[in-house]
Structure 1
Amino acid sequence: MSKTAAPASAAGQIPAQPGPPSLRWQARRRRPGVLALAAALIAAGAVGNYWYWTQNGQRTPVLVMARDVAAGTVIQDADLAEASVALDPALKAIGTGQRAQVVGKRAAVELLPGALLAPGQITSRTLVHQDEQLVGLNLKPGQLPDSPLKPEDQVQVVFTGDSGAPAPGKSGKPGQDSGPATVDARIVRVGSKQDSTGQQVIDVAVKSADGPRLAVQAAAGTVALAVKAASGAGS
């Protein structure tokens, strides 16, 4: 008598059984969390790339000072260097394309090495006005105030030697009530102070009529500088 072949399940092979419903539900539940994490990582990467691009991508080629230039001094090509920096929109810096326009102009303020060059720091204005003369004063400590001086300060140059004739007194003749002779002046340039002697060259602009007399006194070293009070000071 022939026997009918048993089904595969009857031959010892157990068909796959579906897992418990709770496990299948947890597996499906876990997928949205993974997607959210992936989205968060992508967003974080995008933010990081944007920050890096804004910090390192938007760089502007600008002019910087290669060495110290005193106020009133003509700017030379060797005084300038170039740098690429990330600029704040509020800053006004001179681009490298304007280098030719900067060379030959004067420093309106003292320019220090490494500093960005801004439009307000240079000038093409003539530092000596019409009917003025420029006189250099080589002054020692004691001949000028210890407080810092700057261009456009209004000063008096006082003649301290015997060769400086006193100004007329109230009577119109030289007298004790007149005091020492003085010349009103405007500071144009303040030179660097020498480390060894403390001497400092101050260029001043004076009326053309006073220029020769002041130059004689300056050459003899018989001058001192007195700073006038600023307009409105003490009020």
Structure 2
Amino acid sequence: MVRTRTHETVKAPALPRQRRPAMFLLVVVFIGLGVLAGQYAYSRLDKRSSVVMVARDVAIGQVIGQDDLTAVRIAADPMVATVPAERLSEMAGRVAAVDLTSGTLLSDGHTTDAMTPGPGQQLVPLALKPGQLPARGLRAGDHVLVAAELTDPGRQAAATATKDIPATVDRVSEADPDGTRVVDLLVGPGVGGLIAREAMRGHIALILTSRGDAP
């Protein structure tokens, strides 16, 4: 018996599929476009700006130090007065025009380059009751007239009290339980003592002529 030898069919190994360069490039382009779209959307939504914030309390009239301020990023309304962070070093060394409280945003109106009282000025503290102040209140920088009552016509010094004396509000304290507020006034030379004496008698009233931020 003759045995025949059958040849087994040998299959060649399958070759790996060739990657399509065009498809790969298209995927890369789509990924890149997605990243760019995300960055654009974030930039449109992130409307925060870097501004100056008070880091430590600074009393009115004190020089502002570098450590008293810091820069923060916030999303603030354009109507809110702020100081850009790039001006932080410019604010250091200026004088606090109002009491600066930690955590509040700094504005140009909060600082001044002048110490008070300046040359030719006197700082007069007046303890005034509600009836001696405008109902809308006073704030630093307001311009007022000091109206004093003539208490003794025989005193020549008191005669000047019949004239309204111009002054500028330097500071206004919080009201006491009875409504009394201490108002620091900047006045010209020679009238501070007269105003203080009349105020102690209760013969003083302040007349608001213009706000400090008025042109």
- Deviation of 1:221 (Å): 2.6
SS of equivalent residue, structure 2 residue 131: coil
In structure 2, how many angstroms separate the alpha carbons of the residues matched to 1:60 and 1:206?
39
In structure 1, how many angstroms separate the alpha carbons of the residues matched to 2:38 and 2:114?
48
Equivalent position to 1:85, from 72, 78, 101: 72
Name structure 2 gaps, 5 residues minimum.
76-81
Please tell me whether Structure 1 or Structure 2 has the larger radius of gyration of its CA atoms: 1
- Deviation of 1:217 (Å): 0.8
- Deviation of 1:137 (Å): 1.2
Amino acid at match of 2:201: A
Contact 1:65 1:81 in 2 (8 A): yes
Equivalent residue runs for 1:159-170 within 5 Å:
159-160=148-149, 163=151, 165=153
Amino acid at match of 2:54: V
TM-score, normalisation: structure 1: 0.59
2:31 is matched with: 41
- Deviation of 1:81 (Å): 4.4
1:211 is matched with: 192
In structure 1, how many angstroms separate the alpha carbons of the residues matched to 2:137 and 2:67?
26
Identity %: 26
Contact 2:83 2:108 in 1 (8 A): no
SS of equivalent residue, structure 2 residue 164: strand
Equivalent position to 1:113, from 102, 111, 116: 102
In structure 1, how many angstroms separate the alpha carbons of the residues matched to 2:83 and 2:127?
37
Residue 197 to residue 148, structure 1, CA distance change in 2 (3 Å)? same
2:136 is matched with: 147
In structure 2, how many angstroms separate the alpha carbons of the residues matched to 1:114 and 1:192?
20
Equivalent position to 1:156, from 134, 139, 145: 145
1:66 to 2:53 alignment: no
In structure 2, how many angstroms separate the alpha carbons of the residues matched to 1:196 and 1:36?
75
- Deviation of 1:145 (Å): 0.2
Residue 36 to residue 192, structure 1, CA distance change in 2 (3 Å)? farther
In structure 2, how many angstroms separate the alpha carbons of the residues matched to 1:148 and 1:69?
20
- Deviations along 1:180-203, one digit per CA (max 9) or x if unpaired, are 824322224222322512221111
Structure 1 residue ranges (4+ consecutive) displaced by more than 6 angstroms after TM superposition: 27-31
Contact 2:51 2:74 in 1 (8 A): no
SS of equivalent residue, structure 2 residue 185: strand
In structure 1, how many angstroms separate the alpha carbons of the residues matched to 2:176 and 2:121?
31
Name structure 1 gaps, 5 residues minimum.
19-26, 169-173, 175-179
Q: CA RMSD in A?
A: 4.5
- Deviation of 1:141 (Å): 0.6
Q: Count how many residue pairs are aligned between Structure 1 and Structure 2.
A: 193
In structure 1, how many angstroms separate the alpha carbons of the residues matched to 2:135 and 2:32?
62
